[in-house]
Amino acid sequence: MINNPYILVTNDDGIDSQGMKILERIAKKISNNVYIVAPNKEQSAKSHSITLTEPLRIEKKSRYKFSVSGTPTDCVILGVNEVMPRIPDLLLSGINCGANIAEDISYSGTIAAAIEGTLMGIKSIALSQVYLNRKKISWDISKNYSEEIILKILRNKWDKNVLLNINFPHKLSQKKDYISITKQGKRAYEKSLIEKRLDPRGDHYYWLGYRKQKVSRNDSSDLAAIAKGYISISPLKIDFTHNSSIKTLGAIFK
């Protein structure tokens, strides 16, 4: 483990979010070289989008803290190339307000920031706190266990093309082995929740949302781990290639 590593902290909930405040404190326990570069407002579900059609602005909040008028991916790009004095040793993204498991991973700005870091060759970890009621979120588990988990990860090597996705349950299992190494799960598909409304001008507009779904507890997925109250750690790869299909498709198009 590098002594006093350079750490870049970002998120998708915005620079003033509660999860960011918690992760900033945790990062500063690990190192004195912590830089915060995060969106100036919430950028949830922006996935891996970057801003190409308008200018981006960086606002310096303090010596090591900066907000960006863009997406989480924008923040990583600017943080690494414009803000930090050198390439960071570690990128921490989060702590997200809500789970980033199963299909959430495809939409998540929190995960995307870690993907961008991984593409740059930076060890990257995404962290998320699961809740049952958004108005009564308990951050205790992520507060109490993040530092220990991050340090344990840093003391060991992992593939440079892999990012780690950590999700903390709203209530921790009482079992001794409360950490589960998991694969990405998949929910049963259900039609998206779409609410259609009418504005004062008589024009329709829409709100998109999620429907709650039952989850199987009987597999090794992130969904099952969270349902059982375990801390889920999923190694995710950035290469989307389905290798076993290469031979099959090769035979079809031979």
pLDDT tens per residue across span 57-79: 999 999 999 999 999 999 999 99
Mean pLDDT of 235-239: 95
Look at residue 211 in the predicted model and tell me its pLDDT.
Answer: 65
Question: Which tokens hold the place of 123?
Answer: 């060890």
* Closest to 185 measured CA to CA, from 239, 150, 232: 232
Mean pLDDT of 32-49: 96
Look at residue 215 in the predicted model and tell me its pLDDT.
Answer: 61
pLDDT in tens, 199-231: 999 999 999 876 666 666 668 999 999 999 999
Query: What's the whole-model pTM score?
Result: 0.92
Nearest-10 crossing angle of helices 18-30, 140-154? 40
Query: Would you call the peptide bond into 181 cis, given omega within 30 degrees of 0 as the criterion?
Result: no
Break the chain into its structural domains and give their ranges.
6-184+215-252
- Whether residue 112 is predicted with pLDDT greater than 90 in this model: the reply is yes
- Whether residue 36 is predicted with pLDDT greater than 80 in this model: the reply is yes
**Helix/strand/coil for 183:** strand
Cα 231 to the chain's mean position, in Å? 15
CATH superfamily of 6-184+215-252: Survival protein SurE-like phosphatase/nucleotidase (3.40.1210.10)
- Whether residue 13 is predicted with pLDDT greater than 70 in this model: the reply is yes
**Helix/strand/coil for 151:** helix
Interatomic CA distance for residues 234 and 185, integer angstroms: 10
Interatomic CA distance for residues 180 and 166, integer angstroms: 10
